[in-house]
Structure 1
Amino acid sequence: MRNRARSSSACTSPSHGKMRAMKIFGFSVSLILINMASIMERADENLLPAVYKEVSEAFNAGPTELGYLTFIRNFVQALSSPLAGVLALHYDRPAVLAMGTAFWALSTAAVGASQHFGQVAIWRAVNGFGLAIVIPALQSFIADSYMDGVRGTGFGLLSLVGSIGGIGGGVLATVMAGQEFWGVPGWRFAFAMMASLSLLIGFLVYMFVIDPRRTTLMTHGTEEDSERTSLVGKGSVPPPSIWGDSWLAMISVMKVQTFQIIVLQGIVGSLPWTSMVFFTLWFELIGFDHNSSAALNSLFAIGCAMGSLMGGFIADRVSKFYPDTGRIMCAQFSAFMGIPFSWIVLAVIPQSVNSWNAFAVALFLMGLSISWCATCANNPMFAEVVPLKHRTMIYAFDRAFEGSFSSFAAPAVGYLTEKIYGYDSKSLSLANGSVQGAYALSRGLLTMTVIPFGLCCLFYSPLYIMFKRDRDNARMASSKELELT
């Protein structure tokens, strides 16, 4: 009777009953809203780098100070990411996503209203806390929504639609930056508008998205939960502990060697991506106007979006023929391609406004080829080497380790640019660009891209041995859990 009552109440809860029937053109409303949340998350990430020039002028900040803004957000995000795994173990992920969205949206609005550089830094830290909760929950949600053979494509679609948000956020902020709206500087108005849209999406996610794990629990977990409840009442089984369960999940994830290797390469491999937040400033130092800079960033982002989907799709196909090594080979190819393309974009093409076409082609092809790793290997492989209930935790700890180290990349670019290559923000005029400033920044970027891409490619190699063993262990553990259920 208790099992029937619990099953009945779960199936007839308002949100669940509503969402089971809600589809748009055959697509799950839950997945649509999750992808919309990804769009807003990526738009928010690209908002500040797109207006670095205006922020630099408003607060008299150089590349090092601007780099610290990215560092603060990324570092707080990294430290806070395990919290997403803890929350997802005990609460529905839509509620977790809505909470994180509220943090990032309110902090985005506060950045736009800040009057001092210190205020911007504080609110960027709050922004990182919100993103720390959202990103692992999004990734595990997608992992649970697709089967192994098409999971790369699923992550590719998430990355593709997220990139649309990144493009939109970056272009919108860059174009609006040079204007005023009702007496408000355009870059500030862009932050307020993005915050409002993010709050709306967070509300929709909370109201209408159904966690796919809930269906699994209703299918397999009702009798087990009832039996456990009975045993707890008799004193045979201790009551569940939130922090105890979370600690066991953390230990389980940390012991997986595939996780350790992917995190190691990710720590190094994410450095170039963090450094690329300076692309907009670099284009404007070359002499490109806001529209031309936004167009170049958009072409690079479009290439990355298409590449992430293409990489996930290709890896899904290759892994059918080489299930133990196919995804690893695809990831190494993508990481290696970062070396020649970084050299071409930052050192070979003349840094002149006359080189717009050359930059456009090179940046698009660069984005198309270097953006595979997360969708073709990292995220799909994480889903295969831990049990279902630990997926959010493994994505959270990946963000924690990679983010904490990669957050140093932006200040490092600023330091190299100013101390090694001679960039002086106080003597340069940002209004019409600066040849010397553009050259210095490009050399700082080149240092922080070519070397990390090469190391990233090398660090994938141990997975040829470790991945198969960890995947088989996870499958065995999952089979035992299902048998017990």
Structure 2
Amino acid sequence: MMTEMHEIVSVLPVVRTCGSAVEAQELQSVAGSSDKGASWRLWLVEMIVLNLVMIMWNTDNMVLPAVYTEIARHFSASPKDLASLGLVRGIFESIFAFPSGFLADKLPRPLLVWLGSVIWGAALVGVTFSPSLSWMIFFRALNGVGLGIVQPLLFSLVADKSDARGRGKAFGFLQFSGSMGQTAFTAFATGIASYQIMSMAGWQFALVIVALLSVVVGTLCVLLVRDHRDQDPRSMMAIVREETPKLGSIVCLPTFIIIIGQGVFGTAPWFAFSYLTMWLELNCFSHSHAAAIIACFNIGGALSGIVGGVLLDAVVRRFPDHGPPGLAQLAVFASVPLFATILFGLGGLDNRSPSSFVVYAMIFMVTGTMISWCTVMNNKMFSDIVPKEAYSYVFALDIVVEGTLGALGQPLVGWLTDDVFHFNAKSANSQDCSPDNAMKLGQGIFAVSGVAFSLCFMFYGMGHFTYPRDRKVAARKLNCSKGAAESDGQVN
């Protein structure tokens, strides 16, 4: 009996020890789950803030073209005069995108995003209260400086915070949120453009609201978004001197050259599309109807980001080498007939009737959905062919080349409209609508976009030959670096 009792007692500590171990494992599991939940919530907050930045970035880009008709009347300007606003914004945006890649090695990217938003917000206030078109052009150039600093950093942060399998959806949702926010703000600006609000013209009031919200969102970014990269201890001059030669390896990638090449032409139509609100109003649509139709186009663009991102991730699983360039070709192939239908195929409709408004709204939405997902494809291909630490540089280089040359699309439309198709600015600005001048403006828009989209299609076709090879080379380098890191860890 005593022996049995001794055996039972001797077992008790063991049982207690096992129980403690189980409890410890359970506590660790709960703690791990809690950490994962907290980490996921932080990631969600960061992605929401980054999407808010994209909304304000897109809005700042497009809110001024949304009120071009009122600005033209305010300054007695022609389409060629207004083209200078888009040109200087595009050029300065592109020039200042490039140094942001170097600055990101020295300073936290959220801080730089805040700085860019403050610059573009302050400049937009200057645009709002400019006493002349020349001053407006000056402040629009300064506005481009802030926009240029932010965009490559925003894309690189989103790429960093998403894995390769979900990157299509991440960029798709970024485009979706940016387009939806832009839709709301530009519709608001166009709708109130002709009213008087608080001793300001309606279009001026709208620009001030956009400027203030841009600064608020930039502040949220610096407060809530983390940059996990270690800051480079080198001086800025040392970073520029040592990192610039490395960019040569990126610039020489065939896929990079092809994406940049198509972007030089593919960006031009989007600058040209800034005249679409003006074109609709010249075609006898009211401010509110023109705003609603452009809103449908932007909603289509937003849906395109989601559709394109989800479609990309699905297609890439089966066709990893040809999915991205093939989907991009589909978008640019559809662009030419769709815009031919919009600009020339609906001329027999009475644009003052409700049925015409519905037809235009539907076609604009379909067009926006079909042609807007190329950015998602480009960002996916970029992130597949360059190392993670080079994301800021590659997005900056893309913006520098595409934005600088693509910005010529808007003045080219202005020149064609005024000097080739003989747009009559005096007649257009003195009437509520002018279908004859709308036709001339439409011819200018289509001449630029039709040629540009055709060239884009050919460039993306070459991507079927270069992207598979560049993607596999980058994947091999990544696997080799991971293997070397694991070997070092085992040795240590």
- Structure 2 length as normaliser, TM-score? 0.87
Whole-Å separation in 2 of the counterparts to 1:110 and 1:433? 30
Q: Is the 8 A contact 1:47 1:173 kept in 2?
A: yes
Whole-Å separation in 2 of the counterparts to 1:117 and 1:22? 49
Tell me which residue corresponds to 2:286. Answer: 289
Describe the SS at the equivalent of 1:432: coil
Q: Which structure 2 residues correspond to residues 87-166 of structure 1 after superposition, within 5 A?
A: 87-166=103-182
Q: Deviations over 1:34-78 (max 9, x none)?
A: 111111111111110011011111112110011111011001111
TM-fit CA distance, 1:254: 1.0
Whole-Å separation in 2 of the counterparts to 1:289 and 1:327? 39
TM-fit CA distance, 1:481: 4.0
Whole-Å separation in 2 of the counterparts to 1:283 and 1:374? 26
Q: Deviations over 1:87-130 (max 9, x none)?
A: 12222211111111111111011111111111101111111111
Q: Is the 8 A contact 2:321 2:467 kept in 1?
A: yes
Tell me which residue corresponds to 1:248. Answer: 245
Describe the SS at the equivalent of 1:426: helix
Shift of the 61–208 alpha-carbon distance from structure 1 to 2, 3 Å rule, reads same
- Aligned AA for 1:241? A
Whole-Å separation in 2 of the counterparts to 1:446 and 1:332? 19
Q: Deviations over 1:210-263 (max 9, x none)?
A: 12x43xx6xxx9xxx9xxx9xx9xxxxx99921123313422321211111001
Q: Is the 8 A contact 2:282 2:428 kept in 1?
A: no
- Structure 1 length as normaliser, TM-score? 0.88
Please, which runs of 5 or more residues in structure 1 have no aligned partner?
1-17, 233-237
Residue number among 42, 52, 56 corresponding to 2:58 in the alignment: 42
Q: Which structure 2 residues correspond to residues 176-187 of structure 1 after superposition, within 5 A?
A: 176-187=192-203
Q: Which structure 2 residues correspond to residues 61-460 of structure 1 after superposition, within 5 A?
A: 61-211=77-227, 213-214=228-229, 241-350=238-347, 352-353=350-351, 354=353, 355-375=356-376, 377-460=377-460
**Structure 1, 121-130 or 349-358: larger mean CA deviation:** 349-358
TM-fit CA distance, 1:427: 3.1
Q: Is the 8 A contact 1:78 1:404 kept in 2?
A: yes
Q: Is the 8 A contact 1:249 1:390 kept in 2?
A: no
Q: Is the 8 A contact 1:79 1:400 kept in 2?
A: yes
Whole-Å separation in 2 of the counterparts to 1:428 and 1:202? 39
Calculate the aligned-residue CA RMSD, in Å: 2.3
Whole-Å separation in 2 of the counterparts to 1:456 and 1:89? 33
Whole-Å separation in 1 of the counterparts to 2:185 and 2:206? 9
Whole-Å separation in 2 of the counterparts to 1:273 and 1:19? 41
Whole-Å separation in 2 of the counterparts to 1:448 and 1:205? 37
- Aligned AA for 1:303? G
Whole-Å separation in 2 of the counterparts to 1:240 and 1:427? 55
TM-fit CA distance, 1:472: 2.2
Q: Is the 8 A contact 2:106 2:236 kept in 1?
A: no
TM-fit CA distance, 1:22: 7.2
TM-fit CA distance, 1:20: 9.6
Aligned residues: 447
TM-fit CA distance, 1:393: 0.5
Whole-Å separation in 2 of the counterparts to 1:179 and 1:475? 56
Whole-Å separation in 2 of the counterparts to 1:426 and 1:464? 49
Whole-Å separation in 1 of the counterparts to 2:77 and 2:112? 35
TM-fit CA distance, 1:19: 13
Q: Deviations over 1:121-162 (max 9, x none)?
A: 111111111111111111111111222222111100000000
Whole-Å separation in 2 of the counterparts to 1:44 and 1:382? 25
Q: Deviations over 1:321-358 (max 9, x none)?
A: 11111111111111100011011001111164143222
Shift of the 185–23 alpha-carbon distance from structure 1 to 2, 3 Å rule, reads farther
- Aligned AA for 2:335? G
Please, which runs of 5 or more residues in structure 2 have no aligned partner?
1-34
Describe the SS at the equivalent of 2:427: coil
**Structure 1, 278-287 or 183-192: larger mean CA deviation:** 183-192
Q: Deviations over 1:398-447 (max 9, x none)?
A: 01111011101111111111111110102334541002111110111111
Whole-Å separation in 2 of the counterparts to 1:481 and 1:103? 39
Shift of the 262–28 alpha-carbon distance from structure 1 to 2, 3 Å rule, reads same
TM-fit CA distance, 1:21: 4.2
- Aligned AA for 1:97? V
- Aligned AA for 2:138? I
Whole-Å separation in 2 of the counterparts to 1:98 and 1:21? 25
Q: Deviations over 1:244-300 (max 9, x none)?
A: 233134223212111110010111111111100000100110111110000000000
Q: Which structure has the bigger radius of gyration?
A: 2
Whole-Å separation in 1 of the counterparts to 2:411 and 2:274? 11
Whole-Å separation in 2 of the counterparts to 1:263 and 1:240? 27
Q: Is the 8 A contact 1:300 1:364 kept in 2?
A: yes
- Aligned AA for 1:329? G
Q: Is the 8 A contact 1:268 1:452 kept in 2?
A: yes
TM-fit CA distance, 1:30: 1.1
Whole-Å separation in 2 of the counterparts to 1:258 and 1:426? 47
Tell me which residue corresponds to 1:7. Answer: none
* Identity across the alignment (%): 31
Whole-Å separation in 1 of the counterparts to 2:473 and 2:393? 18
Shift of the 91–308 alpha-carbon distance from structure 1 to 2, 3 Å rule, reads same
Describe the SS at the equivalent of 1:271: helix
Tell me which residue corresponds to 1:235. Answer: none
